[in-house]
Amino acid sequence: MSNHVLLVEDEVNIIEAIRFLLSREGWTVDTHSDGSDAADVIRARKPDIVILDVMLPGRSGFDILEELRGDAQTADLPVLMLTARGQSRDREMAEKAGVSRFMTKPFSNAEVLTAVRDLLYVHRQST
Amino acid sequence: MTSLNLLIAVCFAYVTFLFGVAFIAERMGVRGRAGWLLRSPLVYTLSLSIYCTAWTFYGAVGNAARSGLEYVTIYLGPSIVIIGWWFVLRRLVRIGRSHKVTSIADLISSRYGKSNVLAIVVTVMAVIGVTPYIGLQLQSVTLSLSIFSAAGDASVTPDTDNPGGLWIAAGLALFTVVFGTRNLNANERHHGVVIAVAAEAVVKLVALLAVGIFVVWGIAGGLSETLARIDASALGTWQTDGSRWATLTFLSATAFLCLPRMFQVLVVENDDERHLQIASWAFPLYLMLMSLFVVPIAVIGLEVLPEGSNPDFFVLSLPLSQGREGLAMLSFLGGFSSATSMVIVATLALSTMVSNHVVMPVFLQLRKGGATQSGDVRNVVILSRRLSILGIIGLGYVYFKASGGSGALAAIGLISFAGVAQFLPAMIGGLFWRGATRLGAVTGLATGFVIWMYTMLLPSFGPDVVLSDAVFSTGLFGLHWLRPQALFGITGMDPTVHAVFWSMTLNALVFALVSLVSFPLPLERLQGAQFVNVFDHSAQTRSWNATVAESEDLMIMAQRILGADEALQLFADEAHSQGLPGHLPEPTPAFLQRLERVLSGSVGAATAHAMIGQIVGGASVSVQDLMAVADESAQMLEYSSQLEAQSNELSKTAAQLRTANNKLMQISAQKDAFLSQISHELRTPMTSIRAFSEILRDTEGLGPMEKTKYASIIHTEAIRLTRLLDDLLDLSVLENGQVTLNRQTGTLGDVLDQAVATARAGASRELSVKRRRLDEAITLDTDLDRLSQVFINLITNAAKYCAAGNPELRIVAGQRGDAVVIDFIDNGAGIPAGARDMMFEKFSRIGAQDSNGAGLGLAICREILTRLGGSITYRDGTGGTAFRVVLPQSLAMAAQ
Predicted confidence (pLDDT) per residue in B311-345, tens digit: 777 888 888 777 777 888 888 888 888 888 888 88
Q: Is B467 part of a structural domain of the chain? A: no
Name the residue facing B687 among A24, A84, A85 (closest C-beta).
Answer: A84
pLDDT value for A111? 92
CB contact under 8 A, A12 and B689: no
Residue-wise pLDDT for B570-599, tens only, equals 888 888 887 777 777 777 777 777 787 777
Q: Residue B218: is its pLDDT beyond 80?
A: no
Q: pLDDT tier at A116 (50, 70, 90 boundaries)?
A: very high
What does the H/E/C string look like for chain A?
Answer: CCCEEEEECCCHHHHHHHHHHHHHCCCEEEEECCCCCHHHHHHHHCCCEEEEECCCCCCCHHHHHHHHHCCHHHCCCCEEEEECCCCHHHHHHHHHHCCCEEEECCCCHHHHHHHHHHHHHHHHHHC
Instruction: Report the SS3 class of residue B482.
Output: strand
- B79 pLDDT more than 80: yes
CATH value at residue B31: 1.20.1730.10
| pLDDT, tens only, A41-64 | 999 999 999 999 988 888 889 999
Identify whether the C-beta of residue B694 lies closer than 8 Å to the C-beta of residue A108.
Answer: yes
Residue-range definition of the domain harbouring residue B656? 625-715
Contact B251, B414 (CB under 8 A): yes
Instruction: Assign 3-class secondary structure to B536-603.
Output: CCCCCCCCCCCCHHHHHHHHHHHHHHHCHHHHHHHHHHHHHHCCCCCCCCCCCHHHHHHHHHHHHHHH
Nearest CA in chain B to A106: B687
Half-sphere exposure of B497 (CA within 13 A, CB side): 13
CB contact under 8 A, B851 and A13: yes
- Residue B883 CA to residue B821 CA, distance in Å, equals 10
Kindly state whether residues B710 and B564 are assigned to the same domain: no
Is residue B543 a part of any domain in this protein? no
Whether residue B765 sits in one domain with residue B693: no
Q: Do A14 and B684 touch (CB under 8 A)?
A: yes
DSSP class of residue B259 equals -
Query: Total structural domains in chain B?
Result: 4
Residue B634 lies in a domain: yes
Which one of B683, B695, B851 has the shortest CB-CB distance to A20? B695
Question: What average pLDDT does chain B have?
Answer: 77
Residues B61 and B75 occupy one common structural domain: yes
pLDDT grade for B471, boundaries at 50, 70 and 90: low
Residues of A in contact with B695 (CB under 8 A): 17, 20-21, 109
A window 63-102, beta carbon within 8 A of B? 84-87
Overall pTM > 0.75:
no
* B101-132: pLDDT as tens digits: 778 888 888 778 777 788 888 898 888 888 88
Nearest-angstrom CA–CA distance, B464 and B802: 114
Burial group, residue B85, by CB count within 10 angstroms (0-12, 13-18, 19+) = buried
> Which of B375, B406, B437 is at the close of a domain?
B406
pLDDT digits (tens, 9 = 90+) for B435-446: 788 888 889 999
Instruction: Determine how many CB atoms are found less than 10 A away from the CB of residue B743.
Output: 12
Pair B614, B630 in one domain: no
Of B187, B192, B193, the closest CA to residue B97 belongs to B187
CATH of the domain at B861: 3.30.565.10
pLDDT the model gives residue B542 = 37
pLDDT at res. A16: 92
Say if B865 falls within a structural domain.
yes
Contact A11 B684 (CB under 8 A): yes
| A11 contacts on B by Cβ (under 8 Å) | 684, 687-688, 851
Query: Under DSSP, is residue B700 helix (H, G, I), strand (E, B) or coil?
Result: coil
pLDDT the model gives residue B448 = 92
Q: Indicate whether B19 and B156 sit together in one domain.
A: yes
pLDDT at B33 over 70: no
Burial of B366 (0-12, 13-18, 19+ CB in 10 A): exposed
Same domain, B585 and B639: no
Domain's final residue, options B619, B653, B673: B619
Q: Is residue B728 part of a domain?
A: no
In terms of domains, do B71 and B190 share one? yes
Chain segment B405-423, per-residue pLDDT in tens: 555 455 677 788 888 889 8
Rounded distance between C-alpha atoms, residue B339 and residue B175, angstroms? 14
Looking at B406, B434, B462, the residue that finishes a domain is B406
Spatial distance between the Cα atoms of B136 and B359, rounded to a whole number of angstroms = 26
What is the 3-state composition of chain B as percent helix, strand, coil, each rounded to the nearest 5? 70, 5, 25
Q: Residue B543's pLDDT is what? A: 40
* CB-closest option in A13, A17, A84 to B683: A84
Of B684, B691, B692, the CB nearest to A84: B684
Of A4-8, B6-10, B537-541, B606-610, the one with minimum mean pLDDT is B537-541
State chain A's mean pLDDT as an integer: 89
Among B365-369, B393-397, B477-481, B564-568, the range scoring the smallest mean pLDDT is B477-481
- Position B691 scores a pLDDT of 93
Q: Do A106 and B689 touch (CB under 8 A)?
A: yes
Contact list, A87 vs chain B (CB under 8 Å): 675-676, 679
Q: Return the minimum-mean-pLDDT range out of B41-55, B414-428, B857-871.
A: B41-55
The more confident residue out of B303 and B418 is B418
In this prediction, residue B617 carries a pLDDT of 57
Best to test chain A binding among B681, B683, B715, B849 (most A CBs inside 10 Å): B683
Beta strand extents in B446-533 (DSSP E only): 482-483, 486-487
Same domain, B173 and B188: yes
- Does residue B813 sit in the same domain as residue B689? no
Does residue B832 have a cis peptide bond before it, meaning omega lies within 30 degrees of 0? no
Residues B612, B658 within the same domain: no
Instruction: Decide if B683 and A104 are in contact by the 8 Å CB cutoff.
Output: yes
Which chain A residue has its CA at the smallest distance from B846's CA?
A57
| Residue B523, pLDDT above cutoff 50 | yes
A105 CB neighbours in chain B (<8 A) are: 683-684, 686-687
pLDDT at B4: 67
Residue B521 forms part of a structural domain = no
A26 exposed, middle or buried (CB, 10 Å; 0-12, 13-18, 19+)? exposed
Cβ distance A10 to B684 less than 8 Å, yes or no, reads no
Which of A7, A11, A13 should one mutate to test binding to chain B, selecting the residue with the greatest count of B CBs within 10 A? A13
Residues B609 and B639 reside in one and the same domain? no
Nearest to B421 by CA among B444, B400, B397, B399: B444
Chain B CB within 8 Å of residue A24 CB: yes
- B747: helix, strand or coil: strand
Structural domains of chain A, with CATH: 4-126 (3.40.50.2300)
Q: Is residue B510 part of a domain?
A: no
**Which chain A residues are closer than 8 Å to B692 by Cβ?**
13, 17
Helix ranges restricted to H, B736-805: 748-762, 784-801
Same-domain pairing of B611 and B678: no
Look up residue B725 and give its amino acid: L
- Among B456-465, B688-697, B751-760, where is mean pLDDT lowest? B456-465
- Domain assignment of residue B437, yes or no: no
